[in-house]
Amino acid sequence: MNLDSLDAYEAAYKNAAFYRIPDVGCLRISGEDRIDFLQRQTTNDLRNLKSGIALPSVLTSPSARILDVLYVYQDEIHTNGDQGAEGSIIATTLPGRGRQTEKFLQNCIFFMDKVCVERLDDQTIQYELLGPEADEVLKSLGADHTPGNPELRKSYK
């Protein structure tokens, strides 16, 4: 049930309801310096980033103004022969902030940084599932594990 009415609110309170996040912002940050780069831009310690865990972090301007709130997680890590592990970081932004956050981060890349920032907004759909029966709904849809806070569940088409 969508959260557009009082009935939907009651369903979320007693059972389960979903809400599609409008104008989702999603970024992929890749490259050898991705963690150090984001570490300089955000407030949380991204060296603690673990697969399957969403880490909230605040993106700030040089004058400490809050620009965005990101949920950051480690995307798949692939080994690249003798060159070690490659991977990327996925960051979801506040709704409607994907383009501005991408532009801000692009402007923060130093000439020696080995990092790439790209938007995945057009490839991303984000839902929020709420209510005491949310776990049962996920299980009925085939989920073998329901994520707890701050875990996340991602799926690919």
Task: Report the DSSP beta bridge partners of residue 19.
Answer: 128
Residue 154 has pLDDT above 70, yes or no: no
pLDDT at position 66 is 94
User: Are 55 and 119 in a shared domain?
Assistant: yes
What's the pTM value of the predicted model, to 2 decimals? 0.78
pLDDT at position 148 is 67
User: Are 30 and 46 in a shared domain?
Assistant: yes
The total of structural domains in the chain comes to 2
User: Are 90 and 114 in a shared domain?
Assistant: yes
The two most distant CA atoms of the chain are separated, in Å, by: 58
Phi and psi at residue 11, to the nearest 5°: -60, -40
User: Are 64 and 118 in a shared domain?
Assistant: yes
User: Are 34 and 100 in a shared domain?
Assistant: yes
Distances (CA, A) of 102 to 9, 35, 122, 142: 34, 16, 14, 34
**What number is the average pLDDT over the span 1-9?**
66
User: Are 29 and 16 in a shared domain?
Assistant: no
User: Are 12 and 40 in a shared domain?
Assistant: no
Q: Which domain holds residue 153?
A: 1-21+126-157
User: Are 32 and 103 in a shared domain?
Assistant: yes
Residue 21 near residue 98 (C-beta atoms within 8 A): no
pLDDT tens-digit map of 60-115: 988 889 999 999 988 865 444 444 456 899 999 999 999 999 999 999 999 999 99
Query: What residue spans of 32-151 are helical by DSSP H?
Result: 34-41, 98-107, 134-140
pLDDT at position 84 is 45
User: Are 71 and 147 in a shared domain?
Assistant: no
User: Are 101 and 43 in a shared domain?
Assistant: yes
